[in-house]
Amino acid sequence: MKLLFANRNYSSWSLRPWLVLKHFDIPFEEELLTFHEPNYKDVFAVKSPTGKVPVLVDGELVIPETVAIIEYLAELFPEKGIWPQDRTLRAKARAASAEMHGGFIGLRNSAPMNLRASFPGRVPVDDVADDLKRLEALWGGMLEQSGGPYLCGAFSAVDAMFAPVATRIRTYVLPVSDVSAGYVEAIYALPAFQEWLAEAIKEPWIVERDEIDFIQAQSAQGKIQ
């Protein structure tokens, strides 16, 4: 089994299935495809059916989408508890994951994942206020029900889905409650996340289009919707 993924510093979608594989001790090989090469799209197109990452390769099976990868792993290794065993918690975890997959556009557009950086105050709070409000309600409700430290108690797939959001809160020092701040700390304390972070910090590549200066300049020119 092999996971193809992109720059650890920037690729939020790559981080998600990697955390699941690593945290749940599922043996896999890694193949890093980097965004910084001028012809990266051509390289990705050869490796991935969609031209995007992450991609899980298991024998002849090629799975090119994060949620599909996580679901495949959960079915392949039911004993691992990748989703919560409790049906109610599992339903809530899947609903939250689906919301993450399709929503939080303000955070995605205004606060790109950048694990090496620290940019307090660089993201206007008004641009992400609605998403932060929703996060407070979602995380707060799940943590209250489960008792934490993760959204369903023990770390599960839903935490992998929200891990890149936690990094955005840390990188841009976004205003959140003590409960949400505690959850961010729990994500950062996860050994699998620490391993990814350590490698991200060592990466030498800078991808200009994923840096906040470039994104804000494009937005000011009306090129980002």
pLDDT of residue 225: 45
Taking phi first (over 0 means left), then psi (-120 to 50 degrees means alpha), and beta for anything else, what does residue 21 get? alpha
30-52 pLDDT, tens digit each: 999 988 777 788 888 888 899 89
Phi and psi, residue 195, nearest 5° = -65, -45
Task: Give the DSSP H or E segment for 57.
Answer: strand 55-58
Q: Which CATH number fits domain 2-80: 3.40.30.10, 2.40.50.140, 3.90.870.10, 2.120.10.30?
A: 3.40.30.10
Q: How many CB atoms lie within 10 A of CB 214?
A: 13
* Residues 6+ away with beta carbon under 8 Å from 147: 153
- Cα–Cα dist 225/209, whole Å: 15
Q: Which residues sit opposite 152 in a β-bridge? A: 154
* Residue of 149, 157, 178, 147 whose CA lies nearest to 66: 157
Q: What is the CATH number of domain 87-197?
A: 1.20.1050.10
Residue type, 180: S
pLDDT of residue 4: 96
pLDDT of residue 223: 57
Question: Is the C-alpha dihedral spanning 53, 58, 59, 62 positive or negative?
Answer: negative
Residue spans of the domains in the chain: they are 2-80, 87-197
Q: What residue ranges of the chain have pLDDT lower than 50?
A: 225
